[in-house]
Amino acid sequence: MEHCKVCGSHKHVCRVCGAELHRRFDDFILRAEIIYAIFMAWGYAAAAEAVIRADNWKGFPLLAISTFVLIRFFFAPTRNLHAAALLSERHKSWRWVVFTLDFPILIFHSFAYYTMCIAVRGSEENAYRFFQWFIILLSANVVWLFFIALRMHLLHRHTHYGTFIKWCVNNFVSVVLFFIASYIWSGSAASFFGLFFAKEAAFVIHAGVPLYWVFFWIALANCIADVILTASDYLGFDS
């Protein structure tokens, strides 16, 4: 912890790139983490309660995916928003992007996860809603990681650039696999894009349908690959 020579406030200095993160910006990230954590914890509690209260364990695979996603995305404020803040510290013309792009996408991540978890309880189409919001969550994350990596490239700040690319590619490949599975099952590309925009379920997915397990294994593989590839970054260690 050092003091800023200009304003006198405390600041964090990255030992790798030398970027500064002032106390007020640090407070902003902390508050973002609190808002984000409330939605994430609230959603997971709803999913766990639904499985516990159910008459059977059919919802357990969805809860397992929810658990992995919670582990992965719980660190998004510290990881992604912090990286965006460090990028903007030395480039004032980019600071507005943090408030107009990064922060709204962060909140949308928590909303998508919450909605995904809420879908664990409900009617027979609950699995459709679950995977619908899981795919939306991955897609939003791909967009966010792409724009952070793009800023790193444009500003010539390549620290952890490879990590963001790995996260982005892993999630993009999974979205493509969901598209292929959906197209093979329904015979129409429109059914996949309905996952993003349709209010009505395009098709029913439950444990007795093969597509349910195809979606489940794609989601599980996505989570496992993400954790294996970037465990050091989640823990805060240098890769």
The mean pLDDT value for 195-203 works out to 67
pLDDT at 6: 46
pLDDT at 136: 92
* 59 occurs within a structural domain: yes
Tell me the HSE value of 225 on the side-chain side, using a 13 A CA sphere: 15
pLDDT at 153: 81
Q: What span, in angstroms and rounded, lies between the C-alpha atoms of 201 and 212?
A: 14
* 1 occurs within a structural domain: no
* 19 occurs within a structural domain: no
pLDDT at 202: 64
Q: What span, in angstroms and rounded, lies between the C-alpha atoms of 140 and 93?
A: 24
* 149 occurs within a structural domain: yes
The mean pLDDT value for 114-126 works out to 77
> What are the Cα distances from residue 157, in Å, to 35, 86, 147, 151?
29, 10, 13, 8
- Report the C-alpha dihedral over residues 29, 30, 31, 35, rounded to 10 degrees: 100
Beta strands in the chain (DSSP E): 2-3, 10-13, 20-22
Inform me whether the pLDDT recorded for 183 exceeds 50: yes
Of 117, 113, 83, 114, nearest to 98 by C-alpha is: 83
* 10 occurs within a structural domain: no
Inform me whether the pLDDT recorded for 78 exceeds 70: no
Mean pLDDT of the chain: 78
pLDDT at 1: 47
* 9 occurs within a structural domain: no
* 217 occurs within a structural domain: yes
Q: How many domains does the chain have?
A: 1
Per-residue pLDDT of 45-64, as tens digits, reads 988 888 888 777 778 889 99
- Place 239 in a pLDDT band, splitting at 50, 70 and 90: very low
Residue 224's identity, in one-letter code, is I
pLDDT at 71: 85
Q: Which domain holds residue 90?
A: 27-235
**Tokens at 73, concatenated:** 């995305």
- For β-strands 10-13 and 2-3, DSSP reports them as antiparallel
* 214 occurs within a structural domain: yes
